[in-house]
Amino acid sequence: MPHAGSSPWNAYGPWLKERYGAPVHRISIDGGFTCPNRDGSKGRGGCTYCNVDSFVPATARRLPSISEQVALGARGILRRHGPGAKFILYFQANTNTYAPVEKLRALFEEALAAAPPGTVELAVGTRPDCLEPEKIDLLESYAERLTVTVELGLESMHDATLLRVNRGHSHADFLAACEALRGRRLGLGLHAMFGFPWESREEMLQTASVINKTPARFLKIHQLHVVEGSVMAAQYRREPFPLLEREAWAEFLAEFLPRLRADLVIQRVVASTFPRYLIAPEWAGDPSGALRFIRSFLLEKGVIQGSRAV
């Protein structure tokens, strides 16, 4: 196991470095999409915990063109990290396959045409209910040129939660999307969220076996936090509800990580947001400190991802 001894989980940063031989940085791109649970086709207001502005950099928003975003993103990375950096083109904001396939083709190709030398991957964040076969074919057609990864929101495996947070799709939709991606030349990354106050520890832990059975290669594990501008922010202000404290989050990870497949590459164990958007919990405002705490907590407990995979 590549992570044994040094990290309790199979961490993304070292994995990227080993695969590409250099630090790899994401150029975040906003393709001007919306989400079906925002525009009225499946609902209004989006997922109750979401405010896209809280996690997508301003450099990737409200710019006139995709190529300008790519150029600006690449310049910033080169300025900060010097030459030799490699890049991932990351369609991040909203649902990046929620448009007719010809429009998607135009957007992705504009990004690829503007990609700086050293671009190794195209990553596209989306929802399970917006991945029709022709869109999967389109994404797969780029796998001739570079690695292509689809990032899919699992969020919760419990339909009652999906309903309550206004996701606008079911867990069955998630499973169907994973199966549609199986065997394709596409990497699959999942995004799962834990700490909904109405989900029990057992209900949260069950998710490991669902994830293990998908063809996913990557996983982001996020704690629930409340951000300004979300529907949940108003709910929280009206009636505050319990959120996991840092210690409780580390304890959850100590139980969850061993249940995961050892070969899953973990992209995140702490969700971060721009500080001005964070309402609660307070510890989420210091993701680096939280990460240090979690790593030493898990090392002390001898936690190893995959040691009790379910």
Q: Footprint of ligand SF4 on this chain (CB under 6 A)?
A: 35, 37-38, 46-47, 50, 52, 94-95, 127, 153
CB 222 within 8 A of CB 244: no
Closest approach of ligand SF4 to the CB of residue 45, in Å: 8
Comparing CB distances to ligand SF4, the nearer of 250 and 279 is: 279
Comparing CB distances to ligand SF4, the nearer of 271 and 303 is: 271
Q: Would residue 166 be called left, alpha or beta, if left means φ above 0 and alpha means ψ between -120 and 50 degrees? A: left
Closest approach of ligand SF4 to the CB of residue 94, in Å: 5
3-state secondary structure of 48: coil
3-state secondary structure of 147: strand
Neighbours of 37 (CB within 10 A): 23
3-state secondary structure of 42: coil
Neighbours of 279 (CB within 10 A): 20
Q: How do strand 278-280 and strand 265-268 relate by DSSP bridges?
A: unpaired
Q: How do strand 147-155 and strand 119-126 relate by DSSP bridges?
A: parallel
Closest approach of ligand SF4 to the CB of residue 57, in Å: 15
CB 151 within 8 A of CB 29: no
Closest approach of ligand SF4 to the CB of residue 33, in Å: 9
Comparing CB distances to ligand SF4, the nearer of 48 and 67 is: 48
Closest approach of ligand SF4 to the CB of residue 91, in Å: 11
DSSP code at position 40: S
Q: Which of 148, 155, 152, 221 is nearest to 190 (CA)?
A: 152
Comparing CB distances to ligand SF4, the nearer of 52 and 211 is: 52
Closest approach of ligand SF4 to the CB of residue 52, in Å: 5
Closest approach of ligand SF4 to the CB of residue 113, in Å: 26
Between 101-114 and 133-141, two packed helices, what is the crossing angle to 10 degrees? 20
